[in-house]
Amino acid sequence: MHFIDHVRIYLKSGDGGNGCVSFHREKFIEMGGPDGGTGGKGGDIIFEVDPNLNTLIDFRYKQHFKAQRGQHGRGSNCTGAHGNSIVIKVPIGTQIFDEHKESVLFDLIKPDERFVFLKGGDGGRGNATFKTSTNRAPRQFENGWPGKETWVWLQLKLLADVGLLGLPNAGKSTFLSVSTRAKPKIGDYPFTTLKPQLGVASVNDQEFVIADIPGLIEDAHLGSGLGDRFLGHIERCKVLLHLIDVSSDDIERDYQIIRRELEAYGHGLKDKPSVIALTKTDLVDEECVQSATKVLSQYTKEQIFAISSAQTKNIHTLLTFLSQVVFDK
């Protein structure tokens, strides 16, 4: 399944039905009077959160949504039927932006949340409502009120407690696979992960969600590699887990690249609580691990863990620490 996290769609609520001009006709009843009914209300545009969805793929094939118009009023004081509303289902974590993508109109973060985004137009009045003591046979009526229409942007930001960061091939997917039941694609080459992945970690009878995003490289904010478009999926995370390959030739550079990209991206990511994990410790000796820890300690006060996903070394210890950070918030 393709992962699509932002789309532009057109919405239009239904127009109201027109009022009716009608006069009562029945045998033995003279001058029955006006009995034109009111038009029906147009259908609404409704958004509803569906916890079973995790992508905006459905909107790739349908971008226009128009609710049904209300039916016109009829004689015998019959009100027109209301138009059918359209319910648009979106994943949890979806944001609705205005047409110019300048401001957030709604942020849907609750399961099964539902609200009316565009109300349908009201139906016009029939001539029965215009009857007065001085105007016994009115021929006035109202047209239905038009519905509302607009273009909006939908942007999906995944909801997770812990966000994984790191250069390509830092071991993020492997860590996700051993710490949760997720089954991400794992390969011995950069950019194995091409779309965000979610997994649920369970430790000490507590569960929290971990999000893995494609690896960042230097100048990702300028579009290098896969760019920084997926960083939005960890904006809601309570803590960031920065994974660094301990066998790298330049530990300091690897750390600084990610920090600079977070700062360039903004949105408060650089100020979020962070934890560092030195990965692939099974490939080097203990002296190399201690040296890398010492180097990083000169640039950050963040907690540093040395782990091996292949041997599940210190994985439980790291998850326990992350759960404490998540549930203390």
Is 215 annotated as a binding-site member? yes
281 is in an annotated binding site: yes
DSSP class of residue 181 equals S
34 in a known ligand binding site: no
Q: pLDDT 10s per residue in the chain (329 long)?
A: 456 788 999 999 999 999 999 999 888 888 889 999 999 999 999 999 998 888 888 898 899 999 999 999 999 999 999 999 999 999 999 999 999 988 999 999 898 899 999 999 999 999 999 999 899 999 999 999 999 999 999 999 888 899 999 888 888 889 999 998 878 677 666 666 677 888 889 888 888 999 888 878 776 666 665 666 788 888 888 999 999 999 888 899 999 999 998 888 888 888 888 999 999 999 889 989 999 999 898 888 889 999 999 898 999 999 999 999 998 85
In this prediction, residue 322 carries a pLDDT of 93
Cα(208)–Cα(328) distance, integer angstroms? 12
For residue 130, what are the CA distances in angstroms to 21, 37, 82, 102, 193? 10, 11, 22, 45, 67
Return the ∠ at Cα 277 (arms to 272 and 280), rounded to 5°. Answer: 150
C-alpha distance from residue 311 to each of 5, 41, 242, 243 (Å): 34, 64, 19, 16
- Identify the structural domains of the chain with CATH numbers, from first to last: 1-156 (2.70.210.12), 162-328 (3.40.50.300)
**Residue 286 DSSP code:** H
* Spatial CB neighbours of 119, under 8 Å, sequence gap ≥ 6: 13, 44, 147, 148
Q: Report which residue type is found at 25.
A: R
212 is in an annotated binding site: yes
258 is in an annotated binding site: no
Say if residue 208 carries a ligand binding annotation: no
End-to-end Cα distance, the chain:
34
Q: Which residues of 13-32 are buried (b: 16+ CB within 10 A; e: fewer)?
A: bbbbbbbbbbbeeeeeeeee
Q: Is 13 annotated as ligand-binding?
A: no
The answer to whether the annotation marks 309 as part of a ligand binding site is yes
The encoded tokens of residue 156 equal: 């999906």
Q: For residue 1, what pLDDT is reported?
A: 46
Q: Is 264 annotated as a binding residue?
A: no
Q: Is position 12 annotated in a ligand binding site?
A: no
17 is in an annotated binding site: no
Whole-model pTM: value is 0.78
Per-residue confidence (pLDDT) for residue 73, from 0 to 100:
95
Please tell me whether 168 is known to bind a ligand.
Answer: yes
